[in-house]
Amino acid sequence: MIQAGIVGATGYTGVELVRLLAGHPQVNLKVITSRAEAGTAVADLFPNLRGHLEITFSSPDIKALKSCDVVFFATPNGTAMDMVDELLEAGVRVIDLAADFRIKDVDVWQQWYGMKHACPDYVTEAVYGLPELNREAIKGARLVANPGCYPTAVSLGFLPLLEKGLVDTSDLVADTKSGVSGAGRKGDIGLLMAELEGNFKAYAAAGHRHLPEIRQTLGLAAGQEVGLTFVPHLLPMVRGIHATLYASLSDPNGDLQALYESRFADEPFVDVLPAGAHPETRSVRGVNMCRLAVHRPQDGDKVVILSVIDNLVKGAAGQAVHNMNLMFGLPETTALQQIAVLP
């Protein structure tokens, strides 16, 4: 059994990670930390786990975490980087669901996240945990930077086009929408139901923290820097991301549907829908799946990719479990084969 620890398991991403790992046949949840809830039974705080998990929250203790085989950080940005050195030196593998190790240019990271990086040497070593792009590197990694939710939906949508050089890389557009759980489990007037219901708005149009992460991933796929306009929006729903992606084709003669079907044919968590389809966020609710559809309006030179994921699963906790499965040589789909809940 893999002995697992979770640091910071009281947020939406954290409890989703607990839910998935509690049902994992090869994992024993040994340590689950929370400073605020130390001593509280996890199932008392999250009643959906009642009967599935008998463990209490504990205060973060590096000695206890060192006894684990893998430690997940479902914490605010800037937490993992203060603890990762001791854990890695003790032979513990680390999967960080925050942004501490995602961006390879430390200066860029410090600019966007507004803090000094505590362990820049590990940024180079960290493997970006998008399995569809870095599967082999993840298998041998001891430190994985789990991608953000928007970057997952956007990157998967653009990858086939960029890898084959089929679009103008200077003018990519990502028009994205997310449910409110993407903002985290916190008290904020703007996140109250009375403020959200019946409302729809863009935010961070001038620049979002996920922008440099997406540019980095797309640039690696394209083999050059890309120009990207990325605008996120807030939807009046709990979970789900819908990304509508636009690009100009440099080769109008390719079979885009065949390209996408071929690129993701062996990917267990990417579903390319039939031509003309429109994926819905509810079709991925609670599951580790990205559903894609390819459109070429009026057979013109523009391609439109529709990408949907659950921001808490494929966009966070589910992808982290996928990465763990790869790191420990388990079947990739272990504990991740749930069916989405409808309605």
For the annotated catalytic residues, the residue numbers are 149
Residue 85 CA to residue 117 CA, distance in Å, equals 13
Q: Is the dihedral of CA 176, 182, 187, 193 positive or negative?
A: positive
Angstrom distance (rounded) from CA 163 to CA 217: 11
CA atoms within 13 A on the CB side of 284: 30
66 close to 9: Cβ distance less than 8 angstroms: no
Closest CA to 312 of 192, 179, 204: 179
| Short-list 22, 7, 11, 176, CA closest to 84 | 7
Q: Exposed, middle or buried, 27 (CB in 10 Å: 0-12/13-18/19+)? A: buried
Three-state SS at 205: coil
**Cα angle, residue 192 at apex, residues 196 and 181 outer, rounded to 5°:** 80
Distance of CA 117 to the CA centre of its chain: 21
- Please check whether residue 62 is in contact with residue 86, taking contact to mean a CB–CB distance below 8 angstroms: yes
Angle at 158 between CA 157 and CA 160, to 5 degrees: 100
- Quick check: helix, strand or coil at residue 134? helix
CA–CA separation, 292 and 272 (whole Å): 5
Determine the distance from the C-alpha atom of residue 175 to the mean position of all C-alpha atoms in its chain, rounded to a whole number. 17
Q: Are 109 and 61 in contact (CB under 8 A)?
A: no
Instruction: Give the integer Cα–Cα distance in Å for 167 and 44.
Output: 51
